[in-house]
Amino acid sequence: MISLKHIDCVLLDMDGTLLDKYFDDYFWEHLVPQKYAEKHGVTFGRAKEILLSLYKTHEGTLNWTDIDFWSRELHLDIPALKEQIKHLIEVHPHVEDFLKAMKRQKKRVFMLTNAHYKVLDIKLKKTEIGVYFDRCITSFEMGYPKEMIEFWEKVEKIIKFDRERTLFIDDTAEVLRTAKAFGIKHLFLKAGANSKKTDTSQHEFPVLKDYRELMQQVKSDH
């Protein structure tokens, strides 16, 4: 663990890091294939095959999380489908306690997400965690996904953080690698992004399983 005394700025990803990724995984791996199969008259298995290969083509690009792009591509109303199952959107345990503690400690707290602004809107309305952030920044606003160094260059110009005194938490190793290459000193990989899936992988970054681990740190700093 790190001492939060040495941190001025906290950067947090949204899906999988603050929110349970079960919603997104269920949406893209079950609901969308099911609707696609119905619309195009193919089996669920075939629909899933087609979609997984399509997703892969756009992974790591702005299209990947652009729901307008997917609506056009798949001839489905993706925002409406998300609204249908928004009851499945859940915040990870102890996230709110952690965010409250960061505000009490007068830390600057920003959300950095590849999620489309329409999805961000749905999720902030459902969870009400938006109040804890100085600002929420999407990759669409920056014109680059977080996997690209240009994203970080633009974000730094906007929010002016000291790379040595910044903490960034994400559930995607590739994004953390880019943040590391950019020079952000304190990095954590959020394990258990999807609470319904067992995470057995080996990680190259320090792992955060539960936000209570960081809460303990706040206590021990005082």
Name the residue type at position 23. Answer: F
pLDDT reported for residue 220 = 60
Give me the mean pLDDT over the 49-74 stretch. 95
Give me the mean pLDDT over the 208-220 stretch. 82
Characterize 19-47 residue by residue with b for buried, 16 or more Cβ atoms within 10 angstroms of its Cβ, and e for exposed: bbbbbbbebbeebbbebbbeeeeeeeeeb
The pLDDT confidence band at residue 201, using thresholds 50, 70 and 90, is confident
Tell me where in the chain the CATH 3.40.50.1000 domain(s) lie: 4-20+90-220
pLDDT reported for residue 219 = 63
Please say if the pLDDT value at position 60 is more than 70: yes
Do residues 194 and 16 make contact, with C-beta atoms less than 8 angstroms apart? yes
Residue 28: CB partners within 8 Å, gap ≥ 6? 51, 55
Q: Would you give the DSSP letter of residue 134?
A: S
Find out if CATH 3.40.250.10 is the number for domain 4-20+90-220.
no
Percent of the chain with pLDDT over 70: 97
Name the residue type at position 147. Answer: E
Q: What does the alpha-carbon distance between residue 149 and residue 136 come to, in Å, rounded to a whole number?
A: 18
Give me the mean pLDDT over the 70-81 stretch. 96
- Say how many C-beta atoms besides its own lie within 10 A of residue 172's C-beta: 19
pLDDT tens digits, one per residue of 161-171: 999 999 999 99
pLDDT reported for residue 222 = 56
Please say if the pLDDT value at position 134 is more than 90: yes
Please give the backbone phi and psi of residue 155, each rounded to the nearest 5 degrees, phi first. Answer: -65, -45
Q: Would you give the DSSP letter of residue 6?
A: G
Name the residue type at position 192. Answer: G
| Distance, CA of 93 to chain centre | 15
pLDDT reported for residue 100 = 96
